[in-house]
Structure 1
Amino acid sequence: MSLLHSTRLGSIVLLIASLAGLAIAVYAYSTPLTGVTGTLGALVAILACLALAVLALLLAAIKGRGASIALRVLILVGLTGTFFAGMLLHQWWICAAMVVGLIGLILDMVRPSHHTRPTHA
């Protein structure tokens, strides 16, 4: 697996999960008989998934260590909050998408660093 592909895998999984959560939240917000049609909670879930998608794109583009740590903390808070919102809305697919997003965040955290120094014996 190439270095570029392995370093971007976590952010790609996170982006796909947030876009899937966005699609599910839009469906729940706009479709009658979902139980949350037109509610403020579903609208907040839409905005949260949109914010997570933007943060995933920023995470893929960021180079600095401090900035990436700050973004990861924001993403973790966003994933947790959106998961909780999905639970309150009884939209279990949003919860599942946020768990997949958490897996993507973990994959991004274990990626090799861009500034690795060679070890001397």
Structure 2
Amino acid sequence: MLPSNSSRVGAIIVLIVSLAGLAIALYAYFTPLTGVTGTLGALIAIVACLVLAVLALLLAVVKGRGASIALRVLTLIGLAGTFFAAMLLHQWWVCVAMVIGLIGLILDMVRPSHHARATHA
């Protein structure tokens, strides 16, 4: 009933916003006069966005229920931590990206399970 690509929309949203957050954090880290140029906080935000991108890719391809739950929890912790770091750095666009990522994670949580998709096919 549902195409396989529509079940991965949430993970794709998380991937896109984590890459957007990465681009914004890189800009803030390297551009002079952003207020966080060369700081450890901006570097941590860069690494966190990279980790979120990897988690989103794994979330899109994982099949097992336990693995998907673990990845969702790790993604939620990553989104919340990156949001908090971005707030401390006054990088509001990264905050916006993490909120959109939370929406994508919620969409991923409400997708039908692999077993449910197999029985409807």
Instruction: Give the TM interval when normalised to the shorter protein.
Output: over 0.9
Which of the pair is proportionally richer in helix?
Answer: 2
Establish whether residue 98 from structure 1 lines up as the match of residue 88 from structure 2: no
| One-letter identity of the residue aligned with 1:85 | A
Return the offset for 1:5. 2.0
1:34 and 2:34 aligned: yes
Unpaired segments of 5 or more residues in structure 1? none
SS in 2 for 1:3: coil
Other structure's SS at 1:4 match: coil
CA positional deviation for 1:3 = 1.8
Q: Deviations over 1:54-93 (max 9, x none)?
A: 0000000100000000000000000000000000000000
Say yes or no: does 1:50 pair with 2:76.
Answer: no
CA RMSD of aligned residues (A): 1.3
Stretches (4+) displaced over 4 A:
none
Q: Which runs of 5+ in 2 are unaligned?
A: none
Distance 1:113 1:61 in 2: 13
- Using the aligned pairs only, state the percent identity: 77
- Give the whole-Å Cα distance in 2 for the aligned partners of 1:8 and 1:68: 12
Specify the SS of the correspondent of 2:5: helix
Alpha-carbon distance in structure 2 between the residues aligned to 1:13 and 1:35: 29
**Amino acid across the alignment from 1:86:** A
TM-score, with length taken from structure 2 = 0.94
| Aligned equivalents of 2:4, 2:115: Cα separation in 1 | 14
Normalised by the length of structure 1, the TM-score is 0.94
